Structure 1
Amino acid sequence: MKKKLILKLFIFLLTLVFIGSFIKPIVFAQPKPEKITLGFAHIWPAVHFTQVHQFTRYFKMVEKATKGKYVLDIKWYPVGTLIGGSELYDGIIKGIAESGTSSFVYTPGRFPVMYTLCQPGIAPPENCNAAAITAMELYKTWKPKEFDDVKVLYFYATGPAWLHTKKPLKSLKDIKGLKVRATADNIEIFKALGAEPTSMVMGEVYTAAKKGIVDSLISPPETLEAWKHAELFDYSVFVPHFYSSFFWVAMNKDKWRSLPKDLQDAFDAVADDAAKEAGAIWQYFNTKAMDFAKAKPGGHHFSRFPDSEWEGVKEIIRPIRERYIALLNSKGLPGKEIVESASKLMEKYNKMKFEPWKP
């Protein structure tokens, strides 16, 4: 009897194995991520680190925040391929570009609250990290209506400026007579120092310098490598009170409304981290460009004016500050409060330590 039971059990198990060999295991397939196509226009060449690193990483950050539900198919429009930097904001409003980024200085007067950060001496940053976070905090503090035409994604900045020249400058007096490529926000201070400033977009600088239209440039160090300005200039002096360029990143409102709600939430969720990482990336490439310039044949010399030189500049900056407060007041805005807010925020974040970024 016992042997029969064992034999039946063996036959039963053998039958199960035989039947199981014909049954495929049930695999629950993961849903494929939904592809969302988004056009993105910017003001740099396609090989610039902003496209290669900053914004590529940003859009991956957004995808990650959706837990893989969406994949962003970015259609890139670098400088000169769709719309110019000074027309980009209006282009986004009109839907010519679905999204993009440009500098405040390309549209002076368009963003009075945020443009406060670009004014000489009001909120000079120590680095790109502090500048980016300050811009985000200033926007959250005042929620300016100047960006109501678009969906703001985040802000970032170049950090403090350097004045690149063909000859060494030992004193602020040496600026007199220079033909400087400047921006709208620092033309006045250069004129006060006896320079001949000319405003132009970055893409025009190389040719202008070759033709002798300008013999110097105010910009962050990254342009020495990314825009090949190290081929034009051999000296750079630190001028943080003169300039720091800030940038907006925005999306067309109709495009924004067309996105699924959870994808919108993902964009909002990563905004602060995107600004922080952008600051760290810009800081990395500014340092890298300085090393690049130093390594060229003949080298490149970086210097700083003595602290005593800046006392006279403060007297030049004071009326610029007062005039900007008056401008904000004329637009029905609390000028003094906005300017003081920008200064205090930058002072706060200038004291912070930031983790360096590496590719």
Structure 2
Amino acid sequence: MTRWLLILFAAACALAGCARPDPNVVTLSYATPYPPTHPFSQADRKWIDWVEAESHGRIKIAPFWGGAILSSDQSMEEVRHGVADIGLIAPIYTLGNAHAQRAQVGFYGHVGSIDEQVGVYKCLIERFPVLRDELRGLRVLAVQGGNLPGILTRSRPVHSLADLRGLRLRAPAENTGVLRVLGADPVDMPMGNVYSALAKGVIDGVVAPADTLKSLNFAEVAHHFVTLRISRGAYPARAMNEARWRSLPPDLQALLARSQAVWERALADKITGAEKKGRVFGEQQGVVFSPISPADQARFDTLYNIDSAKTAVSLSRFGIAGLPIFDEAQRLIRETPSDIAPACAPQGPANPQDPK
């Protein structure tokens, strides 16, 4: 924990009249850019409550919500440097030094459930050291999948892939290539900026799951949702500063390792539930949901995998053999029922520091 964060704690305690800290209690800070009402944060709260109860009060988690001390695009480095002991990390948004982690999210064409996303990721990180190497300095505490996005637009409905032509869409980096092929103008920006960009007409729409209609209030500024199924993968999403991890006694390390399953289950449940609530909320707010034809869905899936394979090959400029990672992800998805995790998924946390 950094010096300034300790000062912040001390100042808060002075104002609140805190007693001298109990030397038998370990206080760990947890930081996230999301507000406490967001589904991600609701899952985080379930994990916090579990850890504090399971440790019988020996661990106390001090949460910092809403980006108070952690950013969206530099969170990996911030946790590495102890800005927070534990934080929500986002390799998919980081500005550098996580090229394989960022690219592999787009290797999951035809993936089914969140459990399958997380399971495939754990298989990949076991097999490919580059994915572990990019997490040096971090102890991963949860891997996160997600609902498959569609496309939400402000005022122009989309009924076919041809309707995407000319639309300026906020999209994750792994989707920009295929959207350009279809004639759209994709841009990459943090999700926190999308509401205002939609409201002002800076963008015409966003690639996002239906849960954002409620959780991010997008139903207020966009009115058409096409249920194009856009594949996406899992990624390490909650991590602890490695030095802080090593400072803990072995029994508390073991407890936090066990907590990974709790956190991942809470995330999957909250994300899935939020999707259903978001769709109901959107319908109540007048958002029009439109299907896509099977032929257009099949064409999109084909283009998606072609573009993903190109992205995998392009990792060679960073000295990374990306195509084997893409091929293995696709093999696992082909050979695994869509509602379960691959059998190779490890039972414990996948971390770069785990002995092999």
Distance across 1 between alignment mates of 2:211 and 2:81: 32
Equivalent of residue 60 in structure 1, options 38, 46, 49: 49
Identical aligned residues as a percent: 22
Equivalent of residue 126 in structure 1, options 112, 125, 129: 112
Structure 1 residues 219 and 310: alpha-carbon distance in aligned structure 2, compared to 1, 3 A threshold: same
Distance across 2 between alignment mates of 1:171 and 1:90: 41
TM-score by length of 2: 0.80
Corresponding residue for 1:263? Answer: 252
Distance across 2 between alignment mates of 1:220 and 1:263: 36
* Residue 38 (str. 1) matches residue 28 (str. 2): yes
Structure 1 residues 282 and 209: alpha-carbon distance in aligned structure 2, compared to 1, 3 A threshold: same
Matches within 5 A, 1:83-232: 83-107=70-94, 110-119=97-106, 122-143=108-129, 144-165=132-153, 166-232=155-221
> 1:43 is paired with a residue of what secondary structure?
coil
Structure 1 residues 222 and 78: alpha-carbon distance in aligned structure 2, compared to 1, 3 A threshold: same
Structure 1 residues 351 and 107: alpha-carbon distance in aligned structure 2, compared to 1, 3 A threshold: same
CA contact (8 A) 1:181 1:216 kept: yes
**Structure 1 position 195, deviation (Å):** 1.2
Structure 1 residues 33 and 164: alpha-carbon distance in aligned structure 2, compared to 1, 3 A threshold: farther
Distance across 1 between alignment mates of 2:33 and 2:193: 12
**Structure 1 position 190, deviation (Å):** 1.6
**Structure 1 position 117, deviation (Å):** 3.8
> 2:331 is paired with a residue of what secondary structure?
helix
**Structure 1 position 277, deviation (Å):** 3.0
Higher relative CO (Cα under 8 Å, sequence separation at least 6) belongs to: 2
Q: What letter is aligned with 2:39?
A: F
**Structure 1 position 107, deviation (Å):** 1.8
> 1:147 is paired with a residue of what secondary structure?
coil
CA contact (8 A) 2:86 2:239 kept: yes
Distance across 1 between alignment mates of 2:281 and 2:24: 42
**Which structure has the larger Rg over C-alpha atoms?**
1
Q: What is the alpha-carbon root mean square deviation over aligned residues?
A: 2.6
> 2:73 is paired with a residue of what secondary structure?
helix
CA contact (8 A) 1:224 1:293 kept: yes
Distance across 2 between alignment mates of 1:319 and 1:276: 32
**Structure 1 position 72, deviation (Å):** 1.9
CA contact (8 A) 2:48 2:61 kept: no
CA contact (8 A) 1:127 1:350 kept: yes
Partner deviation per Cα, 1:167-194 (whole Å, 9 max, x = no partner): 3211100001111111222122221111
Distance across 1 between alignment mates of 2:319 and 2:185: 34
Q: What letter is aligned with 1:50?
A: F
Q: What letter is aligned with 2:290?
A: S
**Structure 1 position 209, deviation (Å):** 1.1
CA contact (8 A) 1:116 1:342 kept: no
Structure 1 residues 145 and 349: alpha-carbon distance in aligned structure 2, compared to 1, 3 A threshold: farther
Higher mean displacement: 134-143 or 303-312: 134-143
Distance across 2 between alignment mates of 1:59 and 1:113: 30
Q: What letter is aligned with 1:54?
A: A
**Structure 1 position 88, deviation (Å):** 0.9
Distance across 1 between alignment mates of 2:116 and 2:290: 22
What number of residue pairs does the alignment pair up?
316
**Structure 1 position 286, deviation (Å):** 1.1
Q: What letter is aligned with 1:207?
A: S
Equivalent of residue 251 in structure 1, options 225, 240, 251: 240
Partner deviation per Cα, 1:97-140 (whole Å, 9 max, x = no partner): 22211333212663344334421x64343343432343334333
Q: What letter is aligned with 2:29?
A: G
TM-score by length of 1: 0.79
**Structure 1 position 55, deviation (Å):** 0.7
Structure 1 residues 314 and 57: alpha-carbon distance in aligned structure 2, compared to 1, 3 A threshold: closer
Distance across 1 between alignment mates of 2:72 and 2:23: 33
CA contact (8 A) 1:88 1:102 kept: yes
Structure 1 residues 162 and 150: alpha-carbon distance in aligned structure 2, compared to 1, 3 A threshold: same
> 2:134 is paired with a residue of what secondary structure?
helix
